Structure 1
Amino acid sequence: MHLMQQWFNKSLQRKIGSLLVVLLAFLFIVIVYSIYKLKLISAEMHEVADVDVPLTEMVSELEMMQLRQHLLIEKFRLEGNQSKALLTPEATFAAQRDALSFLLDKAVRVLNRSLQQHQVRFATETHQQILSSIEHYHKQSDIFEQELQLTLSQGHTAEQRWQQLEDDAARLDQSIISILQQMEKLTLEASRYTDKHESEFMLVNTGLGLCAFFIGLYLSFYILRIFRLRISRIQAEIKTVHQSIEQGEPIASPVFQHPVHQDELTELEHDLKMMVQRLSQEISNREEVEQQLLILATRDKLTGAFNRHKWDEQLRMELSLAERGNTFSIALLDVDFFKKVNDQFGHHVGDKVLQALTECISQRLRKTDSLFRLGGEEFVILLPQQKAEAACQVAETLRQQIEDLNIPELPRFTISFGVTEYHLKDDEDTILKRADQALYKAKNMGRNRVEVG
């Protein structure tokens, strides 16, 4: 059972196909049942046409002949011997009896033919009972005819004798009435039997049709629901990819859940999530590479400070802002006697000195300030929105902290500053040249000091 469920759940095509098979099976049952019932009803209609309709017609004729026969018996009683001369009542009675016998024999033939051909589908006992009643009637009729002829041959007959004949005639009438009632009962049973089958046919066909309708409705709803749900998920994933590409942001890694059904749409959704995950990793890797390239393009590899290329870019931007009314200052600095450090302790120690210098200065600058390495031991600090006086205070603070800096395994060192602020019509060369002159002045005046240019 579990394997069957797994096989069923792994394919949407199997689920839809199974529901379609059930729907077609119901429709096939409806068609087969309808054909069977229509054939049955058709056979019953033939039976009604071959048996019940002739019997119904015979019932009407028998009722009329019964009435005529009763009138003739009354006429015999009243006319007595006068009838014997004319023989009209006897002849008429014989003709009525022959006609009645003919009709009854015809009914017997109809019933026997139906029974012999196995066309009777209902009330078989009633058919047999009618045949027995007709046979019994013939025997009574023969006896009554013999008694009637005997009475007529004797001439004038006592009232008691006519009363006995009337009683016999009444019994014949009762036999005819019984036959008529049985025939009417047979026709009524035929109608009820046919109506019952028609009602069953309509009821079962309606039930099967409704089942097929609801299965088809459920199938349509199920297909629409599955497709809308799965496609909406796929569209959401695609929308996420579009937004990530447009905004340049990494794609949120999709959450993988074990699906209940492993059908075709689920596999497509899973493949799409795998693609989104891979694309997310590629975007993240690309951003990391771009970030590393940006660092390589703008940062000094040894110290981590901004490089000369970044300095040129930032300086042009600050000059552009200064032309519109802003101001800024720069503080050019280098390490005092750095060549001696390299010669005495080696270049690897000199590199560590530069790294320590960069770390110490970067920790004490504002977020808006920037430190750049122009080359060798030469650095420059960009101080936006700072006048020369404030820039000198920053430089003096940094100079003092570097002088007091004591790092094990590193020699103590000092730095000198040349500070200047933006002057009207300054460009990249003039402002940097003025700061360089101030730094040269600080070195000539003994180093480890700050000078303004």
Structure 2
Amino acid sequence: MLQWFNASLNRKIGSLFVLLLSFLFVVIIFSIYKLRLIDFEMKQVAEVDIPLNEVIGHAEMLQLKQHIFMEQFRRLGGSNESFSSPETQFDQRRDALSTLLNRAVNIINKNVERHKIRFELLEHEALLSEIEAFHQHSDDFERQLGHILSVQNISESDWRDLENVAFLLDRSMGIILTQIESLSLEAAKYTEKHEREFMFINGMLGAGALVIGLLLTVYIIQVIRIRILRIHHQVDNIHESIETGTPIKVSSVDESESNPQDELGELEQDLQKVVRRLSDEMVSRMEAERQLMVLVTKDKLTGAYNRHKWDEQIKVSLDLAQRGTVFSLIMLDIDCFKKINDQFGHQVGDAVLQFFASSLLQCLRKSDLLFRMGGEEFAVLLPQQPLEKATQVAERILESIEMTDDDRIPPFTVSAGVSTYRSGDDDNSILTRADKALYQSKLNGRNRVTSEGA
């Protein structure tokens, strides 16, 4: 069963189609069987019961005439003068009745031999026996009637004997008629029963086929709908990723669906593979863009932002300042850096620059920005910091550098100039004031902080 659920969509639909065809085949076979059975029964009705019913009609008429004859013959005392040839009349009616009964016997025997009698075979055989008994009673009645007609004075015992024989003959005929009628009703009852069974069972099978077909159709539609919704979700993730520029959200796949067999499952898995690859490509591209941005905006040696980033960030700071946000600028320069390069070499000079940049970052907030303006000169943007706070930060930086004790680099000092935003400043004016303050620190003996206007 589990293999069927994981089978291909073509196989699922094919197997369900075969199941429905098999069910319909059973319905058709059952219908054929029932129709043949009903046809057989209707043939028995047509070839046996209807002819026997005709025999009943004629026999009842002859029996009625026999009753009338017997009443008249008894009422007139059996006089030959009252009847023209009573033996002849009885013989005529007996021959007609015998002909009818022989016809019934031939019908039954013929259909028994051809195996066309299905209902109450024993009762049909009993009917044949009763017809034989009727012939015996008829012969007895004929002999008794001949005896009465041959005597001059008919005694009461003779009349009683004739009436008894007539009663037995009449009763035998009544039994024959009752049996024939009963067999006809039995055949009709069986036929009606099979018709009802045929309609009921065919209706149930048809309803079952309809229900099974509907359930299987709903199942297939649900499977296709779920698969399409998942695919649609993946497409939506791709669109969202393209619009936002973020990596694609990749949904996890259940282990049971890791190896789907149906076509929509394979399509979903292929699409997910494409989405994963596209997501990986986007992550790689974003990482490449990030690294490229680092290369474009940061100094490779010290990790501080470069002049390109400075030009971008100073404009942002000036725009914010024009809206009422204050900021300050610190310009820093390593004292006698050329002497360090000349005495210890450029590798040591590079180490000094790296150490200086890392020391600066430790003294700054996360919101503060460090820039390498060129050579050994650095700038620090301090958002929302007035001149006094910026000066204190610069002094803390100088103290940190002066207290450095690292065997890998020679001791060095730093000079600093501090300026703050003034109304109407541009990128050149605030930078120029910080440079002048730095130059003043150099003139005053280095290793000191000078604020603008000091």
Common fold by TM > 0.5: yes
Pairing partner for 1:218 from 215, 220, 226: 215
Shift of 1:91: 3.8
335-344 or 384-393, larger mean C-alpha shift: 384-393
Task: Give the TM-score normalised by the residue count of structure 2.
Answer: 0.93
Q: Which residue of 2 aligns with 1:11?
A: 8
Residue 75 (structure 2) aligns with? 78
Look up the equivalent residue of 1:307 and give its one-letter code: N
Q: Give aligned-pair identity as a percent.
A: 51
Instruction: Answer whether contact 2:76 2:82 (CA < 8 A) is retained.
Output: no
- For residues 384 and 218 of structure 2, the distance between their equivalents in structure 1, rounded to whole angstroms, comes to 68
> In structure 2, what is the equivalent of residue 229 of structure 1?
226
Consecutive unaligned residues in structure 1, runs of 5 or more:
none
What is the alpha-carbon distance in structure 2 between the residues aligned to residue 39 and residue 247 of structure 1? 74
Higher deviation after alignment, 172-181 or 315-324: 315-324
After TM superposition, the structure 1 = structure 2 runs for residues 395-410 of structure 1, keeping only pairs within 5 Å, are 395-410=394-409
Q: Deviations over 1:35-82 (max 9, x none)?
A: 332232123223212221222232233233223213322332332453
State how far apart, in whole Å, the 2-side matches of 1:327 and 1:78 are: 151
The correspondence of residues 116-265 of structure 1 with structure 2, limited to 5 A, is 116-259=113-256, 262-265=261-264
Matching residue's letter, 2:270: D
Q: Which residue of 2 aligns with 1:67?
A: 64
Return the letter of the residue paired with 1:67. L
SS of equivalent residue, structure 2 residue 256: coil
Partners of 2:337 and 2:376 within 8 A in 1: yes
Q: Distance in 2 between matches of 1:207 and 1:349?
A: 98
- The alpha carbon displacement at 1:88 in A equals 5.3
Read off the aligned partner of 2:405 and give its amino acid letter: N
Which residue number corresponds to residue 448 of structure 1? Answer: 447
Between 1:185-194 and 1:419-428, the stretch displaced more is 419-428
Q: Aligned runs of 1:313-392 on 2, under 5 Å?
A: 313-392=312-391
Conservation of the 8 A alpha-carbon contact between 1:418 and 1:442: yes
Q: Which runs of 5+ in 2 are unaligned?
A: none
Deviations 1:136-187 (A, max 9, x none): 3223312321331232122322111111111111111121112112112211
Tell me how far apart the structure 1 counterparts of residues 356 and 314 of structure 2 sit (CA, whole Å): 22
Q: Deviations over 1:203-235 (max 9, x none)?
A: 321232232122112201211221222222222
Residue matched to 2:290 = 291
Moved more, 358-367 or 91-100: 91-100
Superposed CA deviations along residues 257-302 of structure 1, whole A, max 9, x for unmatched, are 2126632232222222222222221121111111111111111111
Partner amino acid, structure 2, of 1:152: L
- SS of residue matched to 1:259: helix
Q: Deviations over 1:361-409 (max 9, x none)?
A: 1111122221100111011111223333332221111111111112221
Q: TM-score, normalised by structure 1?
A: 0.93
Q: Could you tell me which amino acid in structure 2 is paired with residue 249 of structure 1? A: T
Deviation, structure 1 residue 311: 0.5
Q: Secondary structure at the match of 1:136?
A: helix
Separation (CA, whole Å) in 2 of partners of 1:133 and 1:72: 24
Give the match for residue 272 of structure 1.
271
Distance 2:4 2:72 in 1: 93
Letter in 2 for 1:135: E
Q: Alpha-carbon deviation of 1:84?
A: 4.5
Aligned partner letter, 2:154: T
Provide the rounded CA distance (Å) in 1 between the counterparts of 2:324 and 2:277: 50
Instruction: Determine the structure 1 residue equivalent to 2:28.
Output: 31
- Structure 1 Cα separation of the partners of residues 18 and 340 of structure 2: 91
Q: Letter of the 2:194 partner, please give it.
A: H
1:21 corresponds to 2:18: yes
Range 367-376 or range 198-207, more displaced:
198-207
2:380 aligned counterpart, secondary structure? strand
Go from structure 1 to structure 2 and tell me whether the alpha carbon gap of 1:366 and 1:9 turns closer, same or farther (over 3 Å shift): closer
- Distance in 2 between the 1:325 and 1:167 partners? 143
Cα distance, 1:336 vs structure 2? 0.5
- Letter of the 2:214 counterpart: L
Kept in 1, the 8 Å contact 2:144–2:161? The answer is no
State the Cα distance separating 1:85 from its structure 2 match.
Answer: 6.2
Contact 1:70–1:169 at 8 Å: present in 2 too?
no
Please name the residue that 1:302 is paired with: 301
CA distance in 1, matches of 2:432, 2:107: 137
1:426 and 1:15 mapped to 2: Cα distance? 77
Bigger drift between 126-135 and 390-399 goes to 126-135
- Residue 51 (structure 1) aligns with: 48
CA RMSD of aligned residues (A): 2.1
Q: Secondary structure at the match of 2:331?
A: strand
Aligned length: 450
The aligned residue for residue 98 of structure 2 is 101
Alignment partner, residue 393 of structure 2: 394
Contact 1:254 1:277 in 2 (8 A): no
Residue 434 of structure 1 corresponds to: 433
**How far did residue 19 of structure 1 move?**
1.8
Greater CA drift, 322-331 or 183-192: 322-331
Aligned 8 A contact 2:20 2:213 in 1? yes
CA contact (8 A) 2:329 2:434 kept: yes
